[in-house]
A = this chain, B = another copy of it.
Amino acid sequence: MLIGRVIGNVVATKKNLKLDGEKLLLVQPLDLSGASKGAPLIAIDRVGVGPKERVLYTQDGRTAQQILGRGVSGVDAAILGVIDEIDFSHG
C-alpha cells in the first residue's frame, strides 16, 4: 500500500461500462515529507474520502478489486483508507 493525496477527479463520459457510476479520483503519490513524488493515478473509492485528504491506496489490480468488493472488475487501483497520522515514535 502507498501514501497519496486526493487532488481532483477525472471526468470521462465515454468509457467502459465497468466504470459506469464510478467516481474516478485523481491521487498524487507523496513522499514522507508530504511532497509530490511521481505520476498521479486514478483510483476508485468506497471508503468515502474527502477533498485533499491523505490516503492509503493500492495499485495492485487484484488487491484493488478485493477492496472494492464482489463483482468489481476492470479497475486496477483503489483507496484503502484515510491517513490520520504517520507515527514515527515506535518506529
Contacts and interface: CB of A to CB of B under 8 A. Distances in A.
Interface residues of A, number: 61
Interface string A17-47: 0110000101011011000011111110011
A60 to B, nearest CB: 4
A1 B64 CA distance: 11
A12 B85 CA distance: 7
Given A10-B86, A39-B2, A61-B62, A15 B80 contact: yes
A37 B40 CA distance: 11
8 contacts: A1-B75, A1-B77, A2-B41, A10-B85, A12-B80, A16-B81, A28-B32, A67-B74
